[in-house]
Chains A and B, each alone.
Chain A
Amino acid sequence: MSAPLLEVRNLLLHYGTRKGVVRAVDGVSFTLGAGETLAIVGESGCGKTSLARAIIRLLPRNVHRFEGQVLLDGADVMKLSDEEFRREVQWRKISMVFQAAQNSLNPVLKVGFQVAEPLMVHMGMDREEAIAEARKHLRMVGIHESFADRYPFELSGGMKQRAVIAMALITKPRVVILDEPTSALDVITQANIMNLLKTIKRELGISYIFITHDIALSSELADKVMVMYAGHMVELAGADEFYTKPLHPYSQKLMASVPTLRTDKKLEFIPGAPPSLINPPPGCRFHPRCPYAMDVCRREEPPTVEVKSGHYVKCWLHAGGG
């Protein structure tokens, strides 16, 4: 087994707000191989977006704690200064497609220019060359190159999303973080975009970190699945195992609550609501909503246990002490 491309160990991100300190990412670890896709699944407020931004170091204001190790090709990039990180890693090795990216295109700049920008900013390429590259990439994502000279408002939602993906790919990164890349897109357009991402993955061997709240959608790309709850990773498993037999009670409930088109199943819902990240419950953070909650769950945070090779669960049901 070759060394993983990306290894995250105990990543922690706490930041301050008027209401208190938000423990957005509270000790998360995972590995990602070359050409592999890790899907990070969770409800809103579970910390998945914060995790993504922590990896690419787009930090919020008032950071209280930002610790852990992020090993890219074996080297810990957390040790780099902000300036060094920006120069060497941000967008060069790791890039990102943001949530509602179609809305974050600058309306007064031409599409081609914006797609070319990362080359000019991060790699110092000159304008002509960069725009030529941009046209190539637009073609690669299925947009005719003449659109490089148009403005964002002239593109449809799906086309804008493709343009943003081109922007994330243009610096030939090793890892692309996709944060809800198809939100606000129609279902057929979404399928087309997922097809594109699958094709790129196969042809370019890029690793994805695919963040979504939609478990069904995550299965479109995921080789590995990580479920996050209240800043913690509660389960990490290979796709084949996860979608057929999830182990953590939250993962199980999540799967059971998703309506499926093709199978007839009784839907369950999870009572209660996700906890605040400022004052999470003691012990296991899911215990107030867990049907199997035991005494120890209320008192102590469970350890992360490797139940099978590559299948991790953070739950007292699977840890010795329970």
Chain B
Amino acid sequence: MGAEGVLLRVEDLRKWFSLRRGLFSSPLILKAVDGVTFSLDKGESISLVGESGSGKTTLGKTVLRLYEPTSGRIVFKGRDVSNLDDDELLWYRRETGLVQQDPYGAMPSFMTIFRILEEPLIIHKAGTKEERREMVFRALEEVRLTPPEDFAFKYPHMLSGGQLQRVAIARALILRPSLVVADEPVSMLDASVRIEILTLMRDLQEKHGISFIYITHDLSTTRYFSERIFIMYAGHLVEQAPSKALVSEPLHPYTQALIEAIPDPDPENRRRLRKVPPGEPPSLINPPPGCRFHPRCPYAMDVCRREEPPMVEVKPGHAVKCWLYAKA
């Protein structure tokens, strides 16, 4: 549960990418994130769920200022970081961490694990050479790569995917950040290893009181990780709710479809068809007008085709962006 107030506030954030089509045509605009507002408390962990093309990864990276927002604000610990330059952002880099999807791609293959973990410390001048060595070994122990000496001087290709992802977590946490964004951290790992890694992240998150944004397409894993779930569709946040509530009482038709689509291991599954909407998420270059889900929504009304619905708090802590719950 979050304590001591708000850590991060994102206000009407938009990130658009312009795709050049050659010398003589005007560029296409891909609206990856198109007006997202939310806040995150200190020590709170949320899951950001969406399918590919929903904009969830772009949102995560924009919050970390790996992209500069096209418009909107990102306020971290009271400071507006939306438009700062790279050199002005150095303190922000220390306060934030990133865990990526591909453990092998996320590591420089020519550096030892020790060097990889040392890099953030060196960049932020965190300690003398001996102190850094201490910190690296402690970081390895914290992610349960023990004994640390066995791992510190290996190269990334010598470790398994799961082990390497632990290194990535250690690297993200080594400067004791306040916010970590984990972008699909377990989707490239074997099923038996996923839970281990998620559990590790959860334990560390609780131990150090770090705020986490856990980005995933797999709704089933979110309950084990976060208190709140945000659902993203086509660049918009469509529902925000506490985890249990979202799964037991999904309000947005898309969320309902998502939940209906996910199988649990049940021999009855083969005897019935799932009721899910047809089609696929829209292109972000030319999203549908009004509510972006309306072409696939079983409940689409006239207003849905014309106007974008507002985000409405239906119950305390449970908000939906849908005309079914808003007054036109």
| Direct contact between the two chains A and B in their complex (CB within 8 A) | yes
Query: What sequence of 0s and 1s flags, for each residue 173-209 of chain A, a beta carbon within 8 Å of any chain B beta carbon?
Result: 0000000000000111111101100110000000000
| Residue B26 at the chain A interface, CB threshold 8 Å | no
Q: Please, which residues of chain A bring their CB within 8 A of the CB of B269?
A: 219-220
| Residue A123 at the chain B interface, CB threshold 8 Å | no
| Residue B276 at the chain A interface, CB threshold 8 Å | yes
Q: Please, which residues of chain B bring their CB within 8 A of the CB of A220?
A: 263, 269-270
Given A157-B280, A260-B265, A270-B192, CB of A239 within 8 Å of CB of B217:
no
Q: Please, which residues of chain B bring their CB within 8 A of the CB of A309?
A: none
Within 8 A of B (CB), among A206-242: 213-223, 239-240, 242
Q: Please, which residues of chain B bring their CB within 8 A of the CB of A263?
A: 264
B273 near A199 with CB under 8 A, answer yes
| Residue B51 at the chain A interface, CB threshold 8 Å | yes
B247 near A258 with CB under 8 A, answer no
A-side residues, CB < 8 A to B, are 37, 43-44, 156-158, 186-192, 194-195, 198-199, 213-223, 239-240, 242-244, 253-255, 257-263, 267-271, 273-274
Q: Please, which residues of chain A bring their CB within 8 A of the CB of B220?
A: 216, 258-261
Complex alpha-carbon distance, A218 and B220, angstroms: 16
Known: A243-B267, A260-B265, A267-B224. 13 other contacts (CB 8 A): A44-B190, A186-B280, A188-B277, A188-B280, A190-B261, A192-B278, A215-B191, A222-B267, A258-B265, A259-B195, A267-B195, A269-B195, A273-B190
B224 near A191 with CB under 8 A, answer no
Q: Please, which residues of chain A bring their CB within 8 A of the CB of B264?
A: 216, 219, 260-263
Most buried by A among B259, B260, B277, B278: B278
Most buried by A among B196, B218, B260, B266: B266
Complex alpha-carbon distance, A232 and B186, angstroms: 26
Complex alpha-carbon distance, A268 and B262, angstroms: 20
Residue of B nearest to A218 (CB): B265
B-side residues, CB < 8 A to A, are 51-52, 160, 162, 190-196, 199, 217-221, 223-224, 247, 257-267, 269-270, 273-274, 276-278, 280-281
Residue of B nearest to A263 (CB): B264
Complex alpha-carbon distance, A97 and B257, angstroms: 26
A216 near B265 with CB under 8 A, answer yes
A187 near B217 with CB under 8 A, answer yes
A-B contact pairs, 8 of them (CB 8 A): A43-B190, A158-B280, A187-B261, A188-B280, A191-B276, A216-B220, A219-B270, A220-B269
A186 near B195 with CB under 8 A, answer no
B192 near A43 with CB under 8 A, answer yes
Complex alpha-carbon distance, A188 and B261, angstroms: 5
Complex alpha-carbon distance, A240 and B265, angstroms: 10
B219 near A187 with CB under 8 A, answer yes
Q: Please, which residues of chain B bring their CB within 8 A of the CB of A259?
A: 195, 218, 220-221, 223-224
Complex alpha-carbon distance, A158 and B262, angstroms: 16
Complex alpha-carbon distance, A188 and B296, angstroms: 11
A255 near B265 with CB under 8 A, answer yes
Residue of A nearest to B264 (CB): A260
A219 near B263 with CB under 8 A, answer yes
Residue of B nearest to A159 (CB): B280
Complex alpha-carbon distance, A244 and B264, angstroms: 12
Return the contact of B190 from the options A213, A223, A255 (Cβ within 8 A): A213
Complex alpha-carbon distance, A189 and B280, angstroms: 7
Least CB distance, B64 to chain A, in whole angstroms:
24
B192 near A239 with CB under 8 A, answer no
Q: Please, which residues of chain A bring their CB within 8 A of the CB of B51?
A: 186-189
B192 near A223 with CB under 8 A, answer no
Complex alpha-carbon distance, A268 and B52, angstroms: 28
Given A191-B261, A216-B265, A267-B224, CB of A198 within 8 Å of CB of B273:
yes
Given A188-B258, A273-B162, CB of A156 within 8 Å of CB of B280:
yes
Q: Please, which residues of chain A bring their CB within 8 A of the CB of B221?
A: 259
Most buried by B among A157, A223, A267: A267
Given A194-B274, A261-B247, A269-B195, CB of A243 within 8 Å of CB of B265:
yes
Complex alpha-carbon distance, A216 and B261, angstroms: 12
Given A216-B264, A263-B264, CB of A257 within 8 Å of CB of B276:
no
Residue of A nearest to B254 (CB): A188
Q: Please, which residues of chain B bring their CB within 8 A of the CB of A223?
A: 270
Given A219-B263, A260-B220, CB of A253 within 8 Å of CB of B270:
no
Q: Please, which residues of chain A bring their CB within 8 A of the CB of B265?
A: 215-216, 218-219, 243, 255, 258, 260
